[in-house]
Amino acid sequence: MLIRSKAPLRLGLAGGGTDVAPYSDLFGGAILNATISMYAFATIMPTDNGKIVFRSIDKNEEYSIKSSSKLLIDGKLDLLKGVYNRIVKDFTKKPLSFEISTFVDAPAGSGLGTSSTLMVAILGAFCEWLKLPLGEYDIAHLAYEIERIDLGMAGGKQDQYSATFGGVNFMEFMKNDKVIVNPLRVKDHHLAELANNLVLYYTETSRMSSAIIEKQQKNVREKNMKSIDAMHKLKEQAIMMKECLLKGNIDEIGKILDFGWKYKKQLAAGVSNKFIDDLYLTAMKNGATGGKISGAGGGGFIFFYCPGNTRYKVIEALNAFGGQAKRYEFTTTGLSTWKI
């Protein structure tokens, strides 16, 4: 028997950073994101040999160990170990024997929520295998707890919820870890136009998002008002983006992205750099009306809104920077699991 799962990666269109504590705990956060046709996959094969085998295919890493109730978190495929430890602690109360393989369509550190999406896919596979009684909110919250609390990885809350729910969502983050996911009924032809006009460009670089996020968290704790005010503006941006999508005013999205990018750069040092600034300026000179780095910043994917047929000129100009444009579509479904 094989147990499989997949969860979609996402584009954070507006509000990025306001889902990160302590800002979300103090002021409440708002995010608008949409899942795309790039995925994290997990496959479990149960065994009875008393062993656990973790296999990350895209990273070309494998880790084998004797089955036990708790595995050491030591930097070797810790996402997999973190899920296993929590599954045993909260549900099975006894060791399991299995092989699990994972694959992600985008590199780690690319800004599309890869680690959190992989966490959701792994957790979903265990839920399918063990028939765990967890709904969408339960899975997303548990994925958040494992990644942020159990493993101590800095970051926000949006990625776990976007990967679990899928589609276009306006998310609200409140005190006491409360999250409300509001699915948006965006018309199909508006989504198709948005996918056509949003150029997703991989810079061929990666970054440690946790380092940037830790600086952002420090700015809030130390009451850096420039950073805090910028987060307030990004929360406003999420509301602006929601209204724009629901009304079908797609060509206004570039201006809203540009508005947000000006404030995102004020969240913390490292969000942008000369290379990213040059990319942005080049895209704008060739027809883009706005854009943003995906995720915390510093590298990875960047996307631009290109109205009309300007996407082709923008892509041609960006190719001089050594990266590549990535085709995708928006998706309507989140975490999927099944057995064969």
The residues annotated as belonging to the active site are 159
d(CA 284, CA 282): 5
* Cβ partners under 8 Å of residue 318, min gap 6: 199, 201, 279, 282, 283, 325
Q: What is the DSSP string of 302-328?
A: EEEE--TTTHHHHHHHHGGGT-EEE--
Go through 183-220 and write b for each residue having 16 or more CB atoms within 10 A of its CB, e for each that does not.
eeebeeebbebbbebbbbbbbebbbebeebbbbbbebb
Contact in structure between 194 and 307 (CB atoms under 8 Å): no
Q: What is the DSSP letter of 167?
A: S
Report the C-alpha gap between 269 and 289 in whole angstroms.
24
Residue-level length of the chain: 340
What are the strands, taking DSSP E only, across the chain?
3-14, 29-46, 51-56, 61-66, 98-104, 168-173, 179-183, 198-202, 290-293, 301-305, 324-326, 336-339
Distance CA 140, CA 150 (A): 15
